[in-house]
């Protein structure tokens, strides 16, 4: 008994008991190798505080970061047939799905939400990479279709945020069919004259890239994101070609004409807000809405975010000073405008030219989208 109680039990407990110093308090940046305190990393939207390397951002955090005030409404997606092929490899597909659902608390690899982005009502369909690598099966196709239909119904732009290894092999041909299916879906948005924006995040490959993800009116990407059709390993092993520096990275795709702009995660929301406001063109330019600059475009904030030392907390979108309307009302129209012109300059090089242009303006058609912008003019 002695041996059991004094030796075996402690050993077992050691295995089972939570470790006194959890390993995940500090996270190592895969790019620069520096250790970052997990809270700090979270505040910084999973961007390395030392080298600006963009790590994967959990899908809900991403939605919070993009929607105004971090507020959005999710829609429930229609149920897709489960395991249509009764697929089994080393494990049953059914079990893989169950595991993924258990792990993520989600039904499948896509979330569809709506809210406003920079005062513009928008629908966002975002992939959850932690759910089976964000792979696209019938349920994900269903998500894109639902998002597109919602966008048309709401007369709102559609933003899709892929983070996916490609088609879900376990659904065989039906996953391949989702390429055609999602293509029709996003075309419906385009046919309705609404902007369809793709925000490419790491990674976007395979059948996802070769369908709706490359059909956007505008392609925005995060720095360093892997974007491609064939996997780098496939290319290397089957073709025996050496891969060029930065191959299939966002910057590489921009240089090859496939991506419009590569934007730092901290500036993404401003960028998308500006693009949406410009594309839907609800009114004459020039009558700039100051609050957009302050609260949402926040040029001052973003520049400090880039240069500031690691310790300073980054304003998370939820914690941002009241955005839109209140700020607008509080401020006179001209002063902030000028201030913006100056402070906007040092921001991200991609963001600047667009940012410099006035974004928001009073609407011609009052109701519909972007209500929050109304008050300031009225």
Provide the annotated binding site. Answer: 29, 32, 48, 51
C-alpha of 114 from chain center: 14
**107 in contact with other proteins (CB under 8 A):** no
Question: Residue from 87, 130, 278, 331 that binds other proteins (CB under 8 A)?
Answer: 87
Of the candidate spans 7-15, 17-25, 172-180, 348-356, the one that interacts with other proteins by CB under 8 A turns out to be: 172-180
If one asks whether residue 228 binds other proteins (CB under 8 A), the answer comes out as yes
Closest by CA position to 172, among listed 144, 145, 207: 207
- Residue 73 corresponds to which tokens in the numbers above? 């409404």
What is d(CA 358, CA 337) in angstroms, rounded to the nearest whole number? 9
Does residue 226 touch other proteins according to CB under 8 A? Answer: no
- Figure out which of the listed residues 1, 173, 286, 338 binds other proteins, where binding follows CB under 8 A: 173
Residues in the chain: 378
Nearer to other proteins, 187 or 368 (CB): 187
Nearest approach in angstroms of CB 257 to other proteins is 7
Asked whether 118 and 201 are in contact (CB, 8 A), the reply is: no
* Per CB under 8 A, 257 contacts other proteins: yes
Question: Longest Cα pair distance anywhere in the chain, in angstroms?
Answer: 85
Separation CA 168–CA 207 (nearest Å): 9
Of 320, 305, 271, nearest in space to 40 by CA: 305
> Is residue 23 near other proteins by the rule CB under 8 A?
no
Q: How far apart are CA 117 and CA 59, in angstroms?
A: 16
Does 323 bind other proteins (CB under 8 A)? Our answer is no
Return the residue of 52, 106, 187, 371 that touches other proteins, per CB under 8 A. Answer: 187
Q: Which of 8, 35, 153, 239 binds other proteins (CB under 8 A)?
A: 239
**Residue among 65, 125, 70 nearest 270 (CA):** 65
Contacts of 273 (CB under 8 A, 6+ apart): 117, 118, 119, 120, 292, 296, 297, 359
Binding-site residue numbers for Zn(2+) are: 29, 32, 48, 51
- What is the nearest approach in angstroms of other proteins to the Cβ of residue 370? 29
200 binds other proteins (CB under 8 A): no
Inter-residue contact 284 to 377 (CB < 8 Å): no
Q: Indicate whether 246 belongs to the interface with other proteins (CB under 8 A).
A: no
Please give the Cα distance from 82 to 86 (Å, whole number): 9
Among residue numbers 126 through 165, which ones bind other proteins (CB under 8 A)?
A: 137-138, 141-142, 145
Q: How far is the CB of 249 from other proteins (least distance, A)?
A: 11
Place of tokens 């065989």: 172
Burial degree of 52 (CB within 10 A; 0-12, 13-18, 19+): middle
CB of 262 to other proteins, least distance (A): 16
Q: How far is the CB of 294 from other proteins (least distance, A)?
A: 38
Q: Which residue ranges make up the site for other proteins (CB under 8 A)?
A: 78, 80-81, 84-85, 87-90, 137-138, 141-142, 145, 167, 169-181, 183-185, 187, 206-207, 209-215, 228-231, 234-235, 238-239, 241, 243-244, 247-248, 256-258
């Amino acid at each position: 008994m002695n041996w059991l109680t004094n030796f075996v039990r402690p050993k077992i407990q050691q295995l089972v008991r939570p470790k006194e110093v959890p390993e995940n308090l500090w996270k190592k940046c895969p790019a620069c190798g520096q250790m970052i305190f997990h809270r700090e990393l979270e505040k910084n939207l999973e961007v390395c505080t030392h080298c600006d390397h963009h790590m994967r951002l959990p899908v809900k955090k991403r939605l919070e970061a993009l929607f105004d005030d971090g507020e959005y409404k999710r829609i429930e997606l229609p149920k897709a047939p489960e395991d249509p092929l009764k697929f089994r490899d080393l494990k049953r597909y059914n079990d893989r799905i169950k595991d993924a659902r258990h792990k993520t608390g989600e039904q499948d690899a896509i979330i569809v939400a709506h809210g406003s982005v920079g005062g513009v009502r928008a629908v966002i369909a975002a992939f959850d990479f932690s759910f089976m690598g964000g792979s696209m099966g019938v349920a994900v196709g269903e998500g894109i279709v639902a998002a597109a239909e919602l966008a048309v119904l709401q007369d709102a732009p559609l933003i899709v945020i892929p983070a996916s290894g490609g088609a879900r092999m376990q659904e065989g041909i039906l996953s391949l069919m989702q390429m055609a299916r999602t293509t029709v879906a996003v075309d419906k948005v385009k046919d309705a004259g609404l902007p369809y924006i793709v925000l490419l995040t790491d990674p976007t490959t395979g059948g996802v890239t070769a369908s709706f993800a490359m059909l956007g009116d505008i392609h925005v990407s995060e720095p360093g994101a892997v974007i491609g059709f064939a996997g780098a390993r496939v290319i290397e092993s089957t073709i025996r070609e050496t891969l060029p520096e930065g191959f299939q990275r966002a910057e590489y795709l921009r240089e090859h004409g496939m991506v419009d702009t590569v934007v730092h995660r901290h500036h993404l929301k401003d960028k998308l807000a500006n693009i949406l406001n410009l594309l839907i063109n609800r009114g004459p330019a020039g009558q700039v809405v100051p609050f957009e600059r302050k609260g949402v475009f926040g040029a001052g904030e973003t520049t400090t975010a880039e240069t500031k030392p690691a310790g300073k907390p980054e304003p998370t979108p939820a914690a941002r000073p009241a955005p839109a309307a209140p700020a607008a009302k509080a401020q006179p129209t001209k002063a902030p405008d000028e201030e913006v012109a100056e402070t906007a300059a040092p921001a991200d090089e991609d963001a600047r030219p667009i940012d410099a242009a006035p974004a928001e303006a009073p609407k011609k058609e009052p109701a519909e989208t972007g209500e929050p912008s109304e008050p300031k003019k009225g």
